[in-house]
Copies of this chain bind each other. A is one copy, B any other.
Amino acid sequence: MIADLPYEPLLEIIGVFVAAMSGALAAVRKQFDVFGILVLGWATGLGGGMLRDVLIGAVPPVGISDWRLVATAVLGALTMYFFHPRLERARRVIVVLDAGALAVFTVVGTIKGLELGTTAIAAVLVGVMTGVGGGVLRDLLTGEVPVVLHHRQLYAVPALIGAAVTVALWSWDRLDTWTIVGAVLLVFGLRVLALRFRLTVPGPWRGEAQG
């Protein structure tokens, strides 16, 4: 049962709110209309979780059935809609909050995958998809190539590590409130370190011939 597992719904609410702001900001920049801004907020805040739920068969996904999550995404999008001239200046804060959303989504997504009896590999993949899926959907809906695929700054790698750690904790029967918070902080910390020190992953290997 999901209810038995000790993760904080509050964390997820914060994650949805921040991710929805990031989606709404992308829509504002593309001069979308109000409906488009709300859709982008909803898709970015809840898209990763919806992808997860469809893949593990937990339908209808919480992204459409849980009014608290939907309302949170709408509120996040509206906040960006009304305050974007001011919020754009607070870019740094948003990037750090986004790191928090990535961390929460990844760990919660991995746990939900495990709860529904998937394999370890499926839980890791589902966790990473929950973490980065909303952003991919945001980019596709605004006509951009998904930034997580080509930007080189460490974004998916912290998620991958966090999902793997969560699965490891589960298999050792060590998943409790403290270790979950620890996994979330691990992803968050790695992402913030990547931002601070501009850590990157390499691009295509050129081979010796062209070196």
Contacts and interface: CB of A to CB of B under 8 A. Distances in A.
A36 interface: yes
Interface residues of A, number: 66
Contacts of A116: 60
Interface stretch (A7-15, A146-154, A165-173, A188-196): A146-154
Interface stretch (A78-86, A91-99, A100-108, A176-184): A78-86
Nearest to A50: B55
Copies per assembly: 3
Contacts of A86: 207, 209
A84 B145 contact: no
A131 to B, nearest CB: 12
A121 B65 contact: yes
B33 A125 contact: no
Contacts of A201: 33-35
A112 B68 CA distance: 22
A33, A65, A86, most chain B CB atoms within 10 A: A33
Contacts of A204: 27-28, 31-32, 37, 81, 84
A150 B113 CA distance: 35
Nearest to A65: B122
A187 interface: no
A64 interface: yes
B27 A205 contact: no
